[in-house]
Amino acid sequence: MVIAENIHSIKSSLPEHVTLVAISKTKPLFDLMEAYYAGQRTYGENKILEMFAKWEKMPKDVQWHMVGHVQTNKVKFMAPFVKLIHGVDSIKLLLEINKQAKKCNRIIDCLLQVHIAVEETKFGLDEKEIGSLLSSEEFKELQNIRIIGLMGMATLTENQDQIKSEFMHLKSIFDHFAIQNPQFTTLSMGMSGDYQLAIDCGSTMVRIGSSIFGGR
């Protein structure tokens, strides 16, 4: 019952234009189904094979988002069903997603991951790299992918000012590209600890795990 209550209380606090992605990585189907009965239809996982196994068993109206770092050789497993890939950070990965999407006769929506944290360990591109990717000839030829926005993760810190400035930075990069790309509609930023701040800074999609399902 706790999961259902968490879903209801988080949903009622979100503005209408913000999508809730329930991050269910490591959690059993039983927990996902509790969220499902509470009305949740969008789930995020960070491992492709785990997402595949859950997709096979969950009701078919669930939308699956890949939020983790994507291994190129596993893209084929999610290509038939994935709704949105958040963590795209190279043209090489886009080429593979495009190839697998084409085999499935689909157009797969993707977000480019932006590196906004001070931590070197986090993945992502900077503004300049995004610009050159979007304007490259290689990219323009890809017919089976669609970049609909950006995703980023703030530094893991208690310092709210720092998190806020990283989110504002991501929002300004998003606005910069959104002017030239009408397809840019989605800014994925904010997790359990910082989603309210992220929404204040312009997020349209929050990825919430532990505040729904408990600790991992």
Ligand X SMILES: *Cc1c(COP(=O)(O)O)cnc(C)c1O
Residues lying near ligand X in the complex (CB under 6 A) are found at 23, 25, 46, 67-68, 153, 191-193, 207-211
Give min distance, CB of 137 to ligand X, in A: 30
Q: Which is nearer to ligand X, 120 or 137 (CB)?
A: 120
- Report whether 212 contacts 35 (CB < 8 A): yes
Q: Which is nearer to ligand X, 149 or 209 (CB)?
A: 209
**Which residues, listed in sequence order, are joined to residue 145 by a DSSP beta bridge?**
108
Q: Which residues pair with 65 in a beta bridge?
A: 44, 84
**Smallest gap, in angstroms, from Cβ of residue 102 to ligand X?**
26
Could you tell me the smallest distance in angstroms from the CB atom of residue 98 to ligand X?
Answer: 22
Q: How far is CA 94 from the centre of its chain?
A: 15
**Nearest-5° Cα angle at 207, 34 to 23:** 40
CB of residue 2 vs ligand X: minimum separation in angstroms? 15
Instruction: Considering the complex, state which of residue 48 and residue 208 has its C-beta at the smaller distance from ligand X.
Output: 208
Spatial contact of 67 and 45, defined as CB atoms under 8 Å apart: yes
How far apart are the C-alpha atoms of 99 and 75, rounded to whole Å? 10
Q: Identify which of residues 68 and 149 has a Cβ nearer to ligand X in the complex.
A: 68
The CB-nearest residue to ligand X is 209
Comparing C-alpha atoms, which of 156, 166, 151 is closest to residue 197? 166
User: Among residues 6 and 98, whose Cβ is nearest to ligand X?
Assistant: 6
- At its nearest, how many Å lie between ligand X and the CB of residue 50? 12
